[in-house]
């Protein structure tokens, strides 16, 4: 298999799922025409009965997916931008997340909600949000956020096969930015596992999505200065892979957590708490976080967006401070 971008990995996996299982169908705003980012481009022509345009109503999209999944289908709902998913918050968190629990395991809900998230595309306050912490907080919903095309393919397949709801986050900045040779590429096939993408003995950097790539770039810079970093790609945000997180923290004694979501209430706080509770005696320095500032929206102006977004320079600077302990 040749090199693929993230968007090609998503599209090819959706096409394979539609071809392999007649219970699978896609629904969302403009999916028949390919969607805003062209993730479903060409799929309506091949499967017109199972690629379905919806109204501009996120609550209806998710509600329909819940009903269809309950009656044996395997819906893949697309929310055009993650910023708009909150209109379906009640359907996801009050209904979908509790379906298996409220029936004592008698009923399952095999549904996937895909949505592009994150900044770096000059989308301003309505097209740049990081929404993962809201939903990773909710038991009953798995939250997946891959970084590389091979993981997009394998984890999207795993999400479609899962008997319970999966929120599948696709960082829009990486759609065409990240390309990977697929032959021999490592790919996680199980939801709930992280991967160590780089090993070093001086400190650990934990990240996901676009920030994983920025962290790897920062690690390259730090290596040229004599600091070797372990870089952990979380891949799944709920459930977190505590074993990999703790193993890496214990091995290096210094931990830097990176996400572009705002600092307060971001996923980094939960990861820091896990390490503080279970690996405190191994730490040689305080746990550090690099995150977006506590500003309500992502700024539209390019310079202000750059100020908001963590990047490789900010990550490297924080790592140097951490390494000085």
Neighbours of 282 (CB within 10 A): 15
CATH of domain 195-323: 3.40.50.920
126 C-beta neighbours (distance < 10 Å), count: 12
Q: Please, where in the chain does CATH 3.40.50.970 lie?
A: 4-180
Within 13 Å and on the Cβ side, how many CA atoms surround 111?
31
Give the pTM: 0.96
CA–CA separation, 315 and 310 (whole Å): 7
Q: What pLDDT is attached to residue 299?
A: 86
Residue 112, burial from CB neighbour count under 10 angstroms (0-12, 13-18, 19+): buried
Contact assessment for residue 199 and residue 184, using Cβ atoms and an 8 Å cutoff: no
Over residues 187-215, the mean pLDDT reads 96
Catalytic residue among 127, 171, 213, 259: 127
> To which residue do tokens 């997340």 refer?
97
Residue 53, beta-bridge partner list: 28
229-233, strands of its sheet edge to edge: 195-198, 229-233, 203-207, 255-262, 288-292
Please say if 127 is a catalytic residue: yes
Question: Residue 206 and residue 182: Cα distance in Å, rounded?
Answer: 24
The gap from C-alpha 281 to its chain's centroid, in whole angstroms, comes to: 30
Q: Is the dihedral of CA 238, 207, 200, 321 positive or negative?
A: negative
Residues of the chain with CATH 3.40.50.920: 195-323
Tell me how many degrees the CA angle 218-222-224 measures, rounded to the nearest 5. 120
Q: What percent of the chain has pLDDT over 70?
A: 100
**DSSP-based helix, strand, coil % in the chain, nearest 5:** 40, 20, 40
pLDDT in tens, 114-144: 999 999 898 888 899 999 999 999 999 999 9
Residue 1 has pLDDT above 80, yes or no: no
What's the rounded Cα separation, in Å, for the pair 25 and 47? 9
Both tokens assigned to 62: 């998710």
Q: Is 20 exposed, middle or buried (0-12, 13-18, 19+ CB in 10 A)?
A: exposed
| DSSP output for 38-86 | -TTTTHHHH-TTSEEE--S-HHHHHHHHHHHHHTT-EEEEE-SSGGGGG
**Residue 188 pLDDT class (50, 70, 90 cuts):** confident
Task: Tally helices (H) and strands (E) across the chain.
Answer: 12, 14
Q: Read off the pLDDT of each residue in 4-19 and give the average, rounded to a whole number.
A: 97
The residues facing 233 across adjacent strands are: 195, 207
Domain 4-180 class?
alpha beta
pLDDT tens for 15-64 read 999 999 999 999 999 999 999 999 999 999 999 999 999 999 999 999 99
């Amino acid at each position: 298999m040749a090199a693929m971008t993230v968007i090609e990995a998503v599209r090819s996996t959706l096409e394979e799922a539609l071809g392999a299982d007649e219970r699978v169908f896609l629904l969302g705003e403009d999916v028949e025409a390919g969607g805003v980012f062209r993730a479903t481009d060409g799929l309506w022509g091949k499967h017109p009965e199972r690629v379905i345009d919806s109204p501009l109503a996120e609550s209806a999209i998710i509600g329909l997916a819940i009903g269809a999944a309950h009656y044996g289908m395997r819906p893949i709902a697309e929310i055009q931008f993650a910023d708009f998913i909150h209109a379906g918050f009640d359907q996801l968190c009050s209904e979908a997340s509790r379906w298996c629990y409220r029936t004592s395991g008698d009923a399952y809900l095999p549904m996937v909600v895909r949505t592009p998230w994150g900044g770096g595309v000059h989308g301003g306050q309505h097209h740049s949000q990081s929404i993962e912490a809201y939903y990773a907080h909710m038991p009953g919903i798995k939250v997946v956020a891959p970084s590389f095309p091979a993981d997009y393919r394998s984890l999207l397949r795993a999400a479609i096969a899962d008997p319970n709801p999966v929120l599948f986050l696709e960082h829009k900045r990486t759609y065409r930015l990240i390309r990977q040779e697929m032959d021999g590429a490592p790919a996680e096939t199980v939801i709930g596992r992280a991967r160590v993408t780089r090993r070093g003995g001086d400190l650990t950097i934990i990240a996901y999505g676009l920030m994983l790539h920025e962290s790897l770039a920062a690690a390259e810079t730090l290596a040229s200065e004599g600091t070797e970093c372990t870089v952990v790609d979380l891949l799944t945000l709920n459930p977190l892979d505590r074993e990999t997180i703790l193993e890496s923290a214990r091995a290096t004694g210094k931990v830097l957590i990176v996400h572009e979501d705002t600092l307060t209430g971001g996923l980094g706080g939960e990861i820091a708490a896990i390490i503080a509770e279970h690996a405190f005696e191994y730490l040689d320095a305080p746990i550090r976080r690099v995150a977006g500032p506590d500003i309500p929206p992502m700024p539209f102006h390019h310079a202000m967006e750059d100020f908001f977004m963590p990047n490789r320079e900010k990550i490297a600077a924080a790592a140097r401070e951490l390494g000085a302990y």
